[in-house]
Structure 1
Amino acid sequence: MINLYTWATPNGRKISIMLEELGLDYEVSPVDLGKLAQYSPEFGAISPNNKIPAIVDTEPGKDPVVIFESGAILTYLAEKHGQFLASSGQARYTTFEWLQWQTSALGPMLGQLGFFAVRSQEKAPLAIARFTEEADRLLNVMDKQLQTNTYLAGSEYSIADIASYAWTLAATGYLKEVLKDSLATKPALHRWLQTVGERPAVQRGMAIPQI
């Protein structure tokens, strides 16, 4: 049984989407970020970086597998269950490229933009301009890739798409006003969002945790 430690954020929803795609039974342990639950000693023992998501995978007769960081969790689940990640060859490493692109670039930059442009009461124009520019650049990279590929890593849906979906959706929702000029010029990105968003498992995963 997998215990998923998560909250209603793009990073958390990556893993609930993956678990729904795999059709696995799992339990949800909400980590209320608004109450700083991520800093509790109990959660810190599971996720030393005090960030969600994290999982504990327990099987009879085996030591529990404890993993934090969304990219590591997605890779573990894909390899364990043999889905959404090619076993070898170029397709495997292309998936890793786009997975790492999301975790190192798209997610952090959109997160910073969300803080400075939306959440912060005191606006910092230089920071907003910097992160808006970088978000636009990254969305351009994504749109260009999707102009010639059905999914981020090629013709097959993968953990790269699962990692990127919730953050990209946030760009069209939470960050819509900030990025409206950029989003208006990216039809391939919108086509991909619709394609991925129509998957029933994605819709179920996006509703977790129910708070």
Structure 2
Amino acid sequence: MSSNNDIVLYTASTMNGWKPVIFLEEAGVDYDLVPIDFSKREQKAPEYLKLNPNGRIPTIVDRSNDDFVVFESGAILWYLAQKYGKFLPSDPKAQSETLQWLMFQMGGIGPMMGQAMYFQRIAAKQGEEHPFAIKRYVDESRRLLEVLNTRLEGRQYLVNEEFTIADIATYPWARAFYWANVSVEGLPHLQAWFDRIDGREATQRALTIPKPFWAFFGRGDVAAQERENADRFKTDVRKDNE
């Protein structure tokens, strides 16, 4: 790959996969994109595992920093924010708040909503019904969205009035409440925050890279995309049963 761009981004159209895309598009940073095809298990290819031993997306390589590799979406956002001086407050307290809400997404909203999605949209479609697990993850996801709603009362963004990497990390997950079958009724501050970021042109453009998957947000041909999503992860379900 021949390019003068600093950042090479390996990613796919998932909530975690869109995080660095949103950052780079919002920051106006040129980058090289390497789409990862889950159906071909490219995330498990030996060449990719040399970059990301966890075999997940996203991953970046910074050519300008001795080809330094960063994996884990939250760590990537932190690295990019420091590299480009964007979407991270300079005030130490506000910077700590940003990190706290970034960790809240990484440790709570992502895992809980991800499991709610997995058991309903993937496992159930492969004949694996687990109502206890579904209720557990849907209920906990709702609780976490309530925490966000409380935090956003009287605020434009998660850290005061500034759009930060905490918003970038949280938005694609929380906004996919439809896919997790989690209600956002009675959460007006959260819904106003959705509307605010829905109106950000760069963020919405990022959600089409490498390709759109609008079913996550309850738009488009949901049934067809649900089948596509379940099919690309069906080997994971089988492996759980072996």
TM-score range, shorter chain: over 0.9
**1:149 positional shift:** 1.7
Question: For 2:75 and 2:21, how far apart are their aligned partners in 1?
Answer: 14
Per the alignment, residue 81 of structure 1 pairs with 84
Question: Percent of aligned positions with the same letter in both sequences?
Answer: 43
**Aligned amino acid, residue 194 of structure 1:** D
Per the alignment, residue 14 of structure 2 pairs with 9
Question: For 2:66 and 2:41, how far apart are their aligned partners in 1?
Answer: 29
**1:210 positional shift:** 2.7
2:94 to 91, 94, 103: 91
Per the alignment, residue 109 of structure 1 pairs with 112
Question: For 1:41 and 1:50, how far apart are their aligned partners in 2?
Answer: 9
- Deviation sequence 1:63-88 (CA, Å, 0-9, x none): 11210011111011111111110123
| Counterpart mapping for 1:1-211 below 5 A | 1=5, 2-59=7-64, 62-121=65-124, 122-171=128-177, 173-175=178-180, 178-180=181-183, 183-210=184-211
SS at match of 1:28: strand
Which consecutive unaligned segments of at least 5 residues does structure 1 have? none
Question: For 1:113 and 1:184, how far apart are their aligned partners in 2?
Answer: 18
Aligned length: 204
Question: For 1:73 and 1:86, how far apart are their aligned partners in 2?
Answer: 17
Question: For 1:45 and 1:94, how far apart are their aligned partners in 2?
Answer: 33
Which consecutive unaligned segments of at least 5 residues does structure 2 have? 213-242
**Aligned amino acid, residue 55 of structure 1:** I
SS at match of 1:102: helix
**1:100 positional shift:** 0.5
Question: For 2:37 and 2:107, how far apart are their aligned partners in 1?
Answer: 24
Question: For 2:162 and 2:151, how far apart are their aligned partners in 1?
Answer: 13
Question: For 2:39 and 2:132, how far apart are their aligned partners in 1?
Answer: 27
**Aligned amino acid, residue 12 of structure 1:** G
SS at match of 1:5: strand
Question: For 2:11 and 2:70, how far apart are their aligned partners in 1?
Answer: 12
